[in-house]
Amino acid sequence: MPVLLALGSALVYGVSDYVGGRASRLRPPVVIALLAEGALLLVTVAAVPLIEADGPTAAAIWWGVGGGLAGATGVLGLYAALARGNMTVVAPVTGIVAAIVPVGVGVALGERPGLLAAAGIALAVVAVALIGGIAGVGDQPVERSTIVLSALVGAAFGMLFVAYSRTGDDSGTWPLLTARAGGTPLLLIAFVLFRRRDRTISIDRSAVPVGGVIGVLILVANGLYLWSTHDGLLSIVAVLVALYPVSTVVLAAVLDRERPSASQVLGMATAAIAVAMITIGA
């Protein structure tokens, strides 16, 4: 079950990244990120207290807030990177860093996946590298500044994955709400700062629907990932979630005609093998 939940989370994360990246090419990334955060806030405030009979634990509060800060930082940076670069390159670079961070933390905390699962984890990281064209066999030029920004975004997402995994099995869905205490103020401050520099930045009513869709997608992806951490090893579920660029690349190829390179096709095939190895070995 944790493997299926993590893969479901990866699928939804990838779709949200595609939608957010497309929207950020038409409007300022900070506006799209803030609208998505607003949708997250409204849904979680309305739903979580009705779902949970007990109040949040201390771990759900503090790790949730930390996860919200990391997630909001990652989303804002990702949309900025996607707005300036090719989706089929930016998303995978964030994915490989987002995989390495929680795997390293999981091993440091004493997690020891089985031999087959460990080999699958390593292969999954290679798959993300191939999809990103950063393993030396890609045929798409990539600006160094875009790679750096994408890597920083991946680190933020990796910290989000770690934070949610530390909330505890008894946290329920509270971290999805407490995360808003970190994410919402951060994005509001970012919006104010960006608007001071550029007065043309404003909340466009026509962008509200797409922001709402992105927010709901992120909420579903976060929820599936949080659920997967209750029964699965961080080093396994996080690396599976980090395969989210696959769906972003596929959507960009189908809808935007961003033709995948040979390395990206090889990477997606490698990802399928890695998932099978992790599933069998988990």
Which of the residues in the chain have pLDDT under 50? 135-139
Q: Tell me which residue of 165, 159, 177, 186 sits closest to 61, measured CA to CA.
A: 177
Which pTM does this prediction carry? 0.82
Query: pLDDT (tens digit, 9 = 90+) per residue, 18-61?
Result: 898 888 888 888 898 899 999 989 999 988 988 887 888 999 99
Q: What is the pLDDT at residue 133?
A: 59
Domain that holds residue 83: 2-281
Number of domains forming the structure of the chain: 1
The span from the first CA to the last CA of the chain, in angstroms, equals: 10
Q: What is the pLDDT of residues 99-125, one digit of tens each?
A: 888 888 888 888 777 788 788 878 877
pLDDT score at 42: 92
pLDDT of residue 233: 82
Give the Cα separation of 88 and 226 in Å (integer). Answer: 26
pLDDT of residue 140: 52
